[in-house]
Structures are given as structure tokens and as C-alpha cells.
Amino acid sequence: MQFFFEVLIGGLLSGVMYSLVALGFVLIYKASGVFNFAQSAMVFFAALTYVGLLEVGLSPWAALPATLAVMIVLALLIERVVLRPLVNQPQITLFMATIGLTFFIEGLAQMMWGANVRGLDLGVQDEPIQWLTDNAGINVSKFDLLAAGVAAVLVTALALFFNRTRIGRALRAVADDHQAALAVGIPLKQIWAIVWSVAGAVALVAGLLWGARNGVQYALTFVALKALPVLILGGFDSVPGAIVGGLIIGASEKLAEVYLGPYVGGGIEGWFPYVLALAFLLVRPEGLFGEKIIRRI
């Protein structure tokens, strides 16, 4: 039973890491209806830029705002060069544009900083908390707990931002209908620049945590594939959905790997989340917290 809880908690905490990536997707989808495949490339780019700036000799506290500035510049460029000419195009065109963007950002990141694997130390070790091991006999990593804390803060902040501020409301209007939003006087360009900047900041956070855990390397771009089932499970346009989806996916994935994996030859982590999400979708086609799709003729 203790082992079960350990796997469960480990899964939940790693699920939070998926949520961090999924959050970036949700932000952009909610505010522009764009399914931004480049989010994972942005995570990679942010982590690589941060590590690169550290190597150049900046202190960690100087590198953080510097990377943030780079991400904002990137967001502004994306808005100007990619999104603005594609206003009102079908969603699939925008989706393909973000895949093109993925290639571009991956190439750019590696050209600027090189492709070798780098370590990243955030000052918190990936080791079990002694107190919990002694008292409950369960190993919980300090680092995972930090990641969960960061994710909680981020989600609360974003949820407040979306529901309570003027800009947040404007974002939701834009997501509903580009042209209608323009018609009532919402500045689409600014809104998109803001939301992509925020997504860049989320990518930076996700990049730092993932980079510290797995090393800053090209494989970071594959975390998106972990975030996608989280997205469809939680709903593309729901911030809480990203978190709940992440928890469900993380926990069930680890449990399935431990308890189901040995019977079928292992390695099921790659597809199990997708099948699970698919099963959920058959019951609720718009995800757990997604906005109910009402269709009229």
C-alpha cells in the first residue's frame, strides 16, 4: 500500500509538470483559438536561452529577467510576422503555421546556443524529503514539491487574470470571435502580443523546471507530446482543466506503467495517456472542463 501511494504521489507530481506545459497551450487557445504547437519549442528555447545566458556569465537573478525579455520579444515578433497576416484564417491553417514556427524556433535556439546537453541547477535537489520518509515512509522529492508549488501559484494567478481583469475579459471575447471583438473595439494586436508574452513566460517557467529535471536538451521539445493528452482531457480552453487533467494523466500513467506494464511488455507510457484521454472524450467530447460545444445550423 505504501508503494501504491508512493507511485501515486510521484505520478501526481509529475502530472503537475505536464500541466505547466499544457497551461501555455490553454492560454493561447483561450485567447486566440490557435492550437499552438510551438509551445514546446518555446519551452526549449526559453530553457536554452536561460542556460546560455548563465554560461555567458550572467548571475541567475539577472538571467531570469533577460530571458523573460527575450521571450517577450519573440512573442511580439510572432504576433507581427505570423499571426497578424493570418487573422480570420481557418484554425487548421494557424495550427500548421505554428508547426512551421516550431521548426523555426528549434533551429534558432540551437543555432544561437549550440545543441549540446546542459545541466541546470535551480538550487533545489531532486532528493526525498527526510521528514516524510521518516514519519510516513513515503519518498517525495523536494524538487517535485517545488514544481507543484510553482504550478499552483501560476494557475491561481492566471485564473484570476482571466476572470477578474479587463484584459482577461477582452481575451475571452477575442477567443469567441476575432471580428466581433475587433468590432467592439478590442485591440486585437495588443491582446495577442500580451497573451503570447504570458505564454512565453509560462514556457520559461516550464522550461526551467523541466530543464532542471531532465537537462536542457533537444528532448525537451517532446514534452509537448505529454501535454497533449492532458489538454484534451481537461479541455482546450480551461485553466483548471489543465491542472486536473495533468494530475489524472500523471497519476494514471505511472500506476498503469507499474501495475499494468509488466503484463504487456512495458513501455506503455507513450500511448496510455492518449487512450485514457480518448476514453474520457467518448463520454465528454469537449474534455472535462471545456466549454460545452453548442452547434447550430
Partner 1 sequence: MFYREAGQFKTSYDADLAIFPIRQDLIGVALIVAVAFIAVPLLATPYVITGILIPFLILSLAALGLNILTGYAGQLSLGTAAFMAVGAFASYNFILRIPGMPILAAFVAGGIVAALVGVVFGLPSLRIRGFYLAVATLAAQFFILWLLTKVGWISNYSSSGVITAQQIVILGYAFTTPEAKYLLILSIVFIMALAAKNLARSNVGRSWMAVRDMDVAAEVIGIRLMPAKLLAFAVSSFYCGVAGALFAFAYLGTVEPEAFSLDLSFRILFMVIIGGVGTVLGSFLGSAFVVLLPVLLSITVRYLDSNLGLRIPQSMISNLELMLFGGFIIFFLIVEPHGLARLWQIAKEKLRLWPFPH
Spatial distance between the Cα atoms of 154 and 80, rounded to a whole number of angstroms: 27
Q: Which stretch binds partner 1 (CB under 8 A): 52-60, 62-70, 239-247, 288-296?
A: 288-296
> How far is it, in rounded angstroms, from Cα 195 to Cα 176?
15
* Cell numbers that stand for 104 in this block: 523555426
Comparison of 5 and 103: residue with beta carbon closer to partner 1: 103
Sign of CA pseudo-dihedral 49, 118, 14, 287:
positive
Its sign, for the CA torsion 108, 114, 117, 118, is negative
Is residue 144 at the binding interface for partner 1, with CB under 8 A as the rule? no
**Nearest approach, Cβ of 154 to partner 1 (angstroms)?**
23
Taking the complex as a whole, how short is the minimal distance between the CB of residue 19 and partner 1, in angstroms?
A: 16
Closest CA to 35 of 199, 194, 173: 199
The closest alpha carbon to 276, from 243, 234, 237, belongs to 234
Q: Per CB under 8 A, does 219 bind partner 1?
A: no
As a whole number of angstroms, the distance between CA 297 and CA 292 comes to 16
Taking CB under 8 A as the rule, does residue 35 contact partner 1? yes
CB of 267 to partner 1, least distance (A): 6
**Residue 283 Cβ vs partner 1, minimum distance, rounded to whole Å:** 9
End-to-end CA distance of the chain: 53
Binding mask 75-94 for partner 1 (x = CB under 8 A): ------xx--xx--xxxxx-
In the complex, what is the shortest distance from the CB of residue 54 to partner 1, in angstroms, rounded to a whole number?
Answer: 21
CB 255 within 8 A of CB 240: no
Interface ranges with partner 1 (CB under 8 A): 35, 81-82, 85-86, 89-93, 95-97, 99-108, 110-111, 114-115, 225, 228-229, 231-232, 236, 264-265, 267-268, 270-271, 274-275, 277-278, 281-282, 285-287, 293, 295-297
